Amino acid sequence: MTRPMRATAVGVVFAVFVAGVTMLFLYFLNYPPTVAAAAATTGSSGQEEIHLQTVPALGYGPHPTYVSYLADINGKWVHTTMFQLKANTLVHFTIDQYDTGSTLRNSFMDQVQGTVGSTEVLNGGSPVRIINDNTDNGIGHTFAVPTLGVSVPMPGIASAATNVCSIAPCESSFDHNTITFTIKTPAAGLYPWQCFVPCGLGWPYGNGGGMSTLGYMGGFLKVVA
């Protein structure tokens, strides 16, 4: 290969590399979208709230069979796992859990951790510290922020349920469990969160698919000053 041909080939490879990096950067910059928590309608002034749902299959997009989270933004369900919260603020979470559950390999994940009072409220009942994965229809998903010590187990719907949502977003008329809890946000920063129940159906040990794809079973809390 002559020197001009080598230079041309190197230039083409470099251009393809730059284009790929640019596309990857734009992908992570724009998708999933970052949505801000709303001002809380209950509690003291300055608090925030965010409403999420977990679904057994998204039903659309590039991965329609992946299990996923969605966020309620001004009455519209948005497919994202990127949430903006204010620093040093009480944030009230409501998560509607539409998926079935299973027993866990490690029952340590049954424990509610890192929330205000180290509790969650299931279906409007009394605050609880543990969801028994052996008796409460298993655990469908968790909302966990490891760097903040937060882990919230969410029980699955009954395995015999017949009114099951199959395509997101799921309406409240479908069988589901509603979990509420509150966390106190830390200083400004970017904090990864994830479901730690192996829920990537069809993947080795359940750790692939939606389990390991940004925008489905994990994302980031963008905490701003």
pLDDT tens-digit series, residues 82-135 = 999 999 999 999 999 999 998 888 888 999 999 999 999 999 999 999 999 998
Residues 136 and 210 in one domain: yes
Residue 8 has pLDDT above 70, yes or no: no
| Buried/exposed 182-203: b ≥16 CB within 10 Å, e otherwise | bbebbeeeebebbbbbbbbeee
- Cα torsion for 140, 145, 148, 151, to the nearest 10°? 0
Residues 83 and 1 in one domain: no
Most confident listed range (5-9, 42-46, 93-97, 210-214): 93-97
For residue 172, the enclosing domain spans 33-224
Estimate to the nearest angstrom the gap between the alpha carbon of 169 and the chain centroid.
14
Six-digit token pair at 96?
């509607």
Most confident listed range (135-139, 151-155, 208-212): 151-155
* Res 143: pLDDT: 97
* pTM of the complete model: 0.84
Write the CA distances from 20 to 24, 42, 62, 102, 220, integer angstroms. Answer: 6, 46, 19, 40, 23
Residue 74 has pLDDT above 60, yes or no: yes
Residues 94 and 137 in one domain: yes
Residues 5 and 106 in one domain: no
* Res 152: pLDDT: 98
Q: If you average pLDDT over every residue of the chain, what do you get?
A: 87
Q: Is 125 exposed, middle or buried, given 0-12, 13-18 or 19+ CB atoms closer than 10 A? A: exposed
Residues 2 and 68 in one domain: no
Q: How far apart, in whole angstroms, are the C-alpha atoms of residue 102 and residue 135?
A: 10
Residues 61 and 2 in one domain: no
Residues 169 and 76 in one domain: yes
Residue 201 has pLDDT above 80, yes or no: no
Residues 118 and 182 in one domain: yes
The number of folded domains in the chain is: 2
